[in-house]
Structure 1
Amino acid sequence: MFPIENESEFLTNICNVNSSNTLQLLLFVDHRYSTQKNILEIKNYLNSLMKNYDFQLEVLEISKYPYLVEYFKLVATPALVKVNPLPQQTLAGSNLTAQLQKCWDKWQNSVQENYSVFKEYSEENSWLQTCLPSSELIHLRDEIFQLKQEVEKLKQQIQFKDQMLAMLAHDLRSPLTAASIAVETIELVKNKPDLINNESLYNKLFSQAKRQFLIMSKMISDLLQASKNINSQLNLIPSKVNLLTISEEIILNLNAKLAEKNQYIIKEIPQDLPSVYADEKLISQVIINLLENAIKYSPSSSPIILSIIHKTTQKIQVSIIDVGSGIPDSKKERIFDGHFRLKRDQQEDGYGIGLTLCRQVINAHYGQIWVDDNGNQGSCFRFTLPVYN
């Protein structure tokens, strides 16, 4: 791999190998009896990988390389450090083999990508190799890689906002058209009263126009609030998300809670459902929150429905339907206020700050969240998300 006669030269060699198109790993071990089983397991696993993959491995005894232990900030052994490609990554602990299995495909895929990035960088900045100490060069390259990741993240956010603005423009078209028709008709009636002399019709047209303008006003307010949430409170990382897959995982994780009340979830999700453009972690939390509320407020042995439909060409609608005690009409909007609680919930956790966060997350995705009645009993919480384009 690279000579390790002394630690200073070793760091210099790390700088040189970062331009290599090869996955390079360091395995730090010790001689404690309690770690031998884990060390043997990870060594055997790495040896098995060498039969099918091209990578370089160096096994280091921590007592012989204390400076490297400090440099890589190792706190447990065995520890596996990915030196190349950047960024450096450390796996450590008794479940090291399981951690490596999760990371392996990602590491393999990153080799070629990072090679091209650093080849370009090295050609443009080769003078740094002779001007900076090796440790500083490593740090600098790490920072450059992190900056490139930040640039990609910003590009994704810009793409997300562009898509949301296009969706908003599409959504505004319908109420704007309806309001324009109403205003034009009012103007026609006013200028030619002999055509129609009907005050009730005039009032209806005026109400229609006013209602459409209010709809547009709310859309714009939601857009401004979404922008505020993204910039201040929520670290939104949108990507292509399969709602069918994450819904199945969520239901599996909620099985224990469902079993406590002998409840069950009916899943109504088409196999050909388009992906959404969303933050997977945040949207998962919204679905979990709404399902847990449905479980809590529904009677034992009752069904809970999780329905997801392709609402329009640009929107997916998610619905969580229960047969619980329901939400009074006068409180349906206020339950999303973090300072408001239903009387039944004063003495326990329930609809409260969780729904406030749900609204913030959905608004940040330029979607809407609301609650409807489920026939004569129960509630139906719905929210929309943008389709991935």
Structure 2
Amino acid sequence: MSSETAPLPHLDHTGVALNADARFRHVFAEGFDPILLTDYRGRILDGNRQALNFFGIDRRSFPQINIRDLHHPAEPLPDVNKLTGPGSMSFQSRVVAGRIHEGRPRQVTLNVEVRARRLTPGREGTWQWIYHDISSRVELDALREDLIAMLLHDLQSPLGNVISTLELLRMQVDGAQPDEMMLSLLDIASRSSGQLQRLIASLMDINRLEAGQPVGRQSAVPLAQLVAEAYDIEEPSFTRRGVGLESRVPAALPDLFVEPAVISRVLLNLFDNALKYSADGETITVDAHTIGDGMVLVAVSDRGAGIPREFREVIFDKFRRVKSDGSSKGLGLGLAFCRLAVEAHGGRIWVDDAPGGGARFNLTLPQA
């Protein structure tokens, strides 16, 4: 394998000139990342020294190699020809590279970040492909996810013991002379433990759903029942703030076909989010109706300040929050969980303006 970088070709296989300036030649030759040039069909025209070493290929083999041959079969390339004129696109992929291990050639699969850029306009143009090895980062992310999953799993047992102990203490206090202070403290401890238990369950569900695993056992359940269950958990917060919940779910609404515990937590997160941005004494409403295709549209509305348009997509990402009055509570996981849970049921979730002001979170769920 030659370690020298050949000059950029002046003509590609179709005779289109590559008028690269001196600055481009320098970046191409001396850049840290592997760089390949291809024609519009993906045939490799040239590559820098880093590309030859990274992929374990020889420059003489370029005419026989297509850029797709370097990528893992399970990682199809996006259609870069959809870009009109000069432009670029970035994406993650996996490539198959040649390596020498103990004196013997072998192939390894590497995770990469790719930036594809059109160098010349027109359909029959020339493309530049810049590769950046992110294998170490992907492995670190996987280790972190495994550690988080293990910690969450190990937290469940001691937390369950705490909740059981609080229930036993509550039974002891109820059977003796009523102690209002003790009852109040036990209520606070029980609510906090329950909140932590639901947070752990949501985090575990996020990991499970992000990994592409399906939802659990689905069954037919009335939406009104799920709304009532979520409200029962959040009722102390509603009462403390003087906020009311108006459920306008039709009695004749078909049952949902969902995993009840998951969708109940979705509603709970939406109630909690609505409470954060509602003024004391306001009302949160729940509406629902069928929309065809076997789906039910559910809407949770508040009368707060609403969600600015520029945040209506990113608020469903993990750890993203919309700050109000300079502060925002929570970890930014509730809406991320809602999106994953709803999409795992074949539905979608989005936010728009509520009638009369405020935010309205809309979600579609399958009916039984």
The structure, 1 or 2, with the larger RCO (C-alpha pairs under 8 Å, 6+ apart) is 1
Q: Using structure 2 for the length normalisation, give the TM-score.
A: 0.41
Q: Using structure 1 for the length normalisation, give the TM-score.
A: 0.39
Higher strand share: 2
